């Protein structure tokens, strides 16, 4: 158990809908990262937050957005869902700011868009 929690574990929805994925980082970690993993693409970095502020952006679609709250939990919002958005979504956390900073991953949310 990495100490990172994600809810829900599974999510099934329809095209055009909007969903929210939630992540709570390990105690003491200030940084949260979101990744998408599909069968053919591997783990793709979406976005990073550090202590409530956006730090880095990867291949995140405009239909997706995220935020990190004062208690450091984070939410990833996916809207106007398409079939191709079906994937595993992972959240990771790290202390950030340390040279040997390591990301620890949560169990993931499996999103199925029908």
Q: Which residues bind other proteins (CB under 8 A)?
A: 2, 4, 31, 33, 35, 41-45, 48, 55-56, 58, 88, 90, 94, 96, 99-108, 110
Provide, rounded to whole angstroms, the least separation between the CB of residue 58 and other proteins.
7
φ, ψ for residue 103 (rounded to 5)?
Answer: -90, 135
Nearest alpha carbon to residue 23 among 114, 100, 94: 94
Find all residues with CB under 8 Å of 35, minimum gap 6, and list them. Answer: 43, 44, 45, 46, 89, 90, 91, 92, 105
Residue among 33 and 85 whose Cβ is closer to other proteins:
33
Residue among 44 and 67 whose Cβ is closer to other proteins:
44
Residue among 43 and 114 whose Cβ is closer to other proteins:
43
Q: How many CB atoms lie within 10 A of CB 100?
A: 5
Provide, rounded to whole angstroms, the least separation between the CB of residue 108 and other proteins.
6
44: left (phi over 0), alpha (psi -120 to 50) or beta: beta
Provide, rounded to whole angstroms, the least separation between the CB of residue 82 and other proteins.
22
Residue among 22 and 104 whose Cβ is closer to other proteins:
104
């Amino acid at each position: 158990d990495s100490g990172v929690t994600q809810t829900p574990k599974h999510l099934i929805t329809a095209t055009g809908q909007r969903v929210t994925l939630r992540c709570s980082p390990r105690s003491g970690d200030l940084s949260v990262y979101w990744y998408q993993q599909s069968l053919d693409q591997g783990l793709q970095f979406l976005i990073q937050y550090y202590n409530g502020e956006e730090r880095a952006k990867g291949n995140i679609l405009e239909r997706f957005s995220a935020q990190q709250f004062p208690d450091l939990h984070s939410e990833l919002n996916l809207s106007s869902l398409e079939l191709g958005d079906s994937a595993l979504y992972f959240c990771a956390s790290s202390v950030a700011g340390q040279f040997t900073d390591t990301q620890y991953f949560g169990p993931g949310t499996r999103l199925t868009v029908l």
